[in-house]
Structure 1
Amino acid sequence: MNACKVLVVEDDPDINALLAKIMARDGFSVASAFSGTEALLRLEREAFDLVLLDLMLPGMAGSDLVARLRGEQGSDVPVVVVSARAGLSDKVDLLALGADDYIVKPFEPDEVSARVRAVLRRYRKGVRASADVAAADDPVFVRGALRLETAARRVVLDGVEIALTAHEFDILRVLMESPDKVFSRERLYELVWKAGYYGEENAVNVHVSNIRKKLAAVDPDGEYIKTVWGIGFKLA
């Protein structure tokens, strides 16, 4: 676990420093953020293995950050909440949002260490199990020079690997799985975001636009996603 990178999100400098010290003592690489917005920015730009998160933060509350990560960001990075809120409803609400564990302040350093390691063990076990399932049934979709590998979540165009976000990858996979089918924006949203559709067509449009831009950076003349006006999108 020594290679793991932990983001400590806590606005109190002393508590932030203490949590960072605990993580560094256990051999983790540590970065710190002092507001919810700063944490979101760092999570968008860097890869972390775990987040230690306070709830009462300037800029963006910790609960909102968890909701963003699990919702539109599509991130499964483990999140351990460290909060002074000790009520059962607070714990239940955060776990329901997608937090992986909840530690109440004041905390013991050894408890933080133990819980972080337990969460990382569970997460890695789940990743290995998912990989084993995918390896048993690992469809690869090819359309001309475009190749999508589902288990590796890898997209290659003309031999160049394309870096897609989780939602961008899932949209492209849906389209490549059924290359002759036209998908409405509503249906794409339901399949990719796993949620009911409430007019969020702009979210689908933005992600499709991003996919097109990334593919065009490698093949400017290629058309890979076709807009079917009045309906939605299909593979070109």
Structure 2
Amino acid sequence: MTVAALPPSARTRVRRVAELASYEQAALHAIVDAAYLCHIAFRDAHGSHCIPTACWRIDDHLYIHGSNGSRMLKQLLADTGACVTITHLDALVLARSAFNHTMNYRSAMIYGQFEKVADTGQQHAAMEALMDKLAPGRQTQVRGGSAKEYAATTVLRIALDESAVKQRAGGPLDDAGDMAHVVWTGELPFTHGRGAAIADALNTCELPPYAAAWSTESA
């Protein structure tokens, strides 16, 4: 018998519809790996903010990057903590009762303290991993980052050990008293499709395999 993972902390324990929660690292990794953007909540002297930014995973950390002058990155290094969220919306769920309508989704919340990737070699490896996430194999084809570009860039990471996943799938859950109400019920899916690659007007190269495969791969 497999024992379900427990919440890593009190603030990650899902209380509302707790049966939809998961604390398994595999579930978390799948949601992070499917994302290109995350939202980071933080607070500074000007108030509370929630900013979208590119993200990627290496082992048990989520990574972000930005300019050295980024207000958010400076605050994340100076602050005591942050909350990162990722959400994938899969479908609208239509029920017989207005208040039983819901959505199918996959979401994750990550708490913790960001740390700077200070080692130059690790910084380069992290940025190359981002490029590999965007288009596997492209790193060897493009001009690599210059010393000046790397010097102007900050890479941060946050551990994934204090996190929670919440996800829903399937059709509506109608109340027994509503079953006689005649109305269409079911799911309105969102298909996370990919379009065919579009060459730039100044492009001079043949379509590479990773770009040709883009539209045939699942998002």
Asked if TM exceeds 0.5, the reply is no
The structure that is strand-richer by fraction is 2
Specify the TM-score bucket, using the shorter chain as the normaliser.
Answer: under 0.3
The structure that is helix-richer by fraction is 1
**Higher RCO (Cα < 8 Å, 6 or more apart):** 2
